Amino acid sequence: MKVWEWIDQNCELPSESGAKLKGKFRTGITPYTRGIYEAYGDPAIRFITLVKSAQVGGTTILKNLMMWDIENKPGPGLYVTANEKMAKRFNDRELEPHFQYCAVVEQLAVRKRGLWAKLEKLFKNGATVGLIGSNSPSNLASRPVETLKMDEVDKWPEESNKEAPADQLAEARTKTYEDTRKVFTISTPTVESGAIWQRYLRGSQEKFHVPCPHCDFWQELHFKYAQGEGELWYPEVCRRDDGTWDLDRVQREALYRCAKCDEPIHNDKKRAMTLVGKWVKTNPNAPSDHRSFHVSALYSPFETWGGIAKVYLQSESATGKLHDFWNNYLGLPWQRQATIVKRSVIKEIVEISPTYRRGELPIQPLVISMTVDVQQTNFWWVVRAWDKKGVSYLIDFGSAISYEDLGEISRREYKFEGKKYDVLKVMIDAGYTARRRAGVYEWCLMSGGRCFPSKGSSKKDGILHSIRETRVTHKGSEFLLTQYDDDVYKEELYRRRIKERAGPGWYLPVNITNEYIDQLTAERLVERTSPRGGIEFVWESSRDNHLGDCEKMQLVFWDLVAPHVRLEEPEDEQDERVEPSLKVDIPPSEWS
Ligand SMILES: [Zn+2]
């Protein structure tokens, strides 16, 4: 019996799991998974790697295979995810509810005290299932393992430089079973140097090909047009008179265009196309025992092509979101490239900016934002004005010694055509030292919600999105801390906005200072050898870069605010300034 047939026969979708589907599990809903299940069942295959977008049923594949293992490959099995908390969550939400609905697994389970634990299960035929967090090296180094499942490897905590990466440590446990082991690795990707993309490159690099319903040409589904590829397409008539996209219309009218005949293919053809689809190898140099697969949301039964086009257009002006779109919808790694910002580039931006001076408002602002970088003895701050499309103008910047100074600066008013405007919200860095952080929290609390703390970190520990909000408690009061991916926003600022002038306009006043230019040119993204042996990119700074950090935080601020100001409204309906609630919509797939 094929692996997917076993799954269709034995697995159910319990309603408690919160899944959209109920009843018998049907692999036919996600036809691209069948070939992956078959690769797993192939006795000649030892390594299976799946790089994927969200919403393609990735976690379900892992869970189904763990159930198949119990009857069909009853050796010691191990599931590894970022940390123990997430291992527990996977167990509670995925594994246990499904075990109980699977008669085969339930008959084999030894549910005796001491032999059955949440993260360590035993079965009558000798199969075991262990679930652990990748951040426990002692766990990773003990006992041999025959079937290894590594979940969301790109979100595992950064390894120390002395130790081998955690996925390699886990894999080392399978050596005893060299001739029978199965190492299944799955993740949405982050950057090219990440674990999942590096593994994908080593394998067969298979793409899912489907036939055009018009001309029967077999092709991979692509998001954007490149030579000889099809594309996700939405007509120009979906634009309003002012040039902005009518997103609902885009969602309704987007379709796919065939790579060969260019004919439009509607979303409702997707199911029939994917049902007959085939995996096609693209890496002739892959070892014969490693099959690697890539699948994007374009194939997903849970997303429409129009919905994906809409998300893309919503992401376009927001940095972190574009990065997330690339990772979570296209299942592709973000491509980094070495970046150095020269002084001349900053001066060119001044030249292309509308002419205005520091302290002046060149536009009627939708919102004015202030960001503050906290240092040992002082603060640095930047004020920017934004229009509804995300075009922004540096209004003022400087340093301050005390919170009193900061308070005074944050209450300054700016004039445009006789009307006064002031700073809506202040975002302050809470990432410095513990001693400073308490002061930052205190200041935010006293501001009554006008000021809020933020903290940059790297995209690890299970964070799927470039921005998220977590609750923190200070002196008995609870409030939101904004966390963001530092690398993503630095890259957006220095490479995209400044160097390439991509994205919405990013402007500077004519009387910018040398100090500002010095601090905006202090950071560079350089290449180095990663612990995996490949190339990775890291940010280095040669001197003070606090104003650069303030400008980076401005982009974070906009990403928080943008979803709440209605980007697609015509000008005349935008007169009233919107008070944004700083809530970020977190999709159900969020791991945090
Ligand atoms: Zn065609």
Q: Are 377 and 393 in contact (CB under 8 A)?
A: no
Mean pLDDT of 320-326: 83
Q: What is the pTM of this model?
A: 0.76
Q: Give pLDDT, residue 15.
A: 63
Q: Measure the CA–CA gap between 226 and 219, rounded to whole angstroms.
A: 13
Q: Give pLDDT, residue 3.
A: 97
209 alpha carbon to ligand 1 midpoint, in Å?
Answer: 13
Mean pLDDT of 89-94: 92
Statement: residue 567 has pLDDT above 80: no
Q: Measure the CA–CA gap between 316 and 136, rounded to whole angstroms.
A: 38
Statement: residue 337 has pLDDT above 80: no
Q: Are 323 and 332 in contact (CB under 8 A)?
A: no
220 alpha carbon to ligand 1 midpoint, in Å?
Answer: 12
270 alpha carbon to ligand 1 midpoint, in Å?
Answer: 13
Q: Give pLDDT, residue 34.
A: 97
Domain segments of the chain: what residues? 1-30+55-187, 339-567
> What is the tens place of the pLDDT at every residue in 456-480?
876 554 455 688 888 888 888 888 8
Q: Are 491 and 538 in contact (CB under 8 A)?
A: no
Q: How sure is the predictor about 18, in pLDDT bands with cuts at 50, 70 and 90? A: low
For the ranges 136-140, 250-254, 337-341, the one whose mean pLDDT is highest: 250-254
Q: Phi and psi for 493 in degrees, rounded to 5? A: -65, -55
Statement: residue 75 has pLDDT above 60: yes
487 alpha carbon to ligand 1 midpoint, in Å?
Answer: 40
Q: Give pLDDT, residue 161.
A: 58
Q: How sure is the predictor about 588, in pLDDT bands with cuts at 50, 70 and 90? A: very low
439 alpha carbon to ligand 1 midpoint, in Å?
Answer: 63
217 alpha carbon to ligand 1 midpoint, in Å?
Answer: 6
Statement: residue 273 has pLDDT above 60: yes
Q: Give pLDDT, residue 540.
A: 84
271 alpha carbon to ligand 1 midpoint, in Å?
Answer: 16
Q: Give pLDDT, residue 118.
A: 86
Ligand 1 ion: nearby residues, β-carbon < 5 Å: 212, 214-215, 217, 258, 260-261
Q: Any idea which fold 1-30+55-187 has?
A: Rossmann fold (3.40.50)
Q: Any idea which fold 339-567 has?
A: Nucleotidyltransferase; domain 5 (3.30.420)
> What is the tens place of the pLDDT at every residue in 296-318?
999 999 999 999 999 998 887 67
Q: Give pLDDT, residue 320.
A: 73
Statement: residue 572 has pLDDT above 50: no
269 alpha carbon to ligand 1 midpoint, in Å?
Answer: 13
Mean pLDDT of 553-582: 61
228 alpha carbon to ligand 1 midpoint, in Å?
Answer: 12
Statement: residue 523 has pLDDT above 80: yes
564 alpha carbon to ligand 1 midpoint, in Å?
Answer: 40
Q: How sure is the predictor about 13, in pLDDT bands with cuts at 50, 70 and 90? A: confident
Evaluated on CA atoms 413, 418, 419, 424, the torsion sign reads: negative
450 alpha carbon to ligand 1 midpoint, in Å?
Answer: 55
What count of residues does the chain have? 592
Statement: residue 556 has pLDDT above 50: yes
Percent of the chain surpassing pLDDT 70: 89
| Class of residue 113 by CB neighbours under 10 A (exposed 0-12, middle 13-18, buried 19+) | exposed
Q: Measure the CA–CA gap between 563 and 314, rounded to whole angstroms.
A: 8
Average pLDDT for the chain: 87
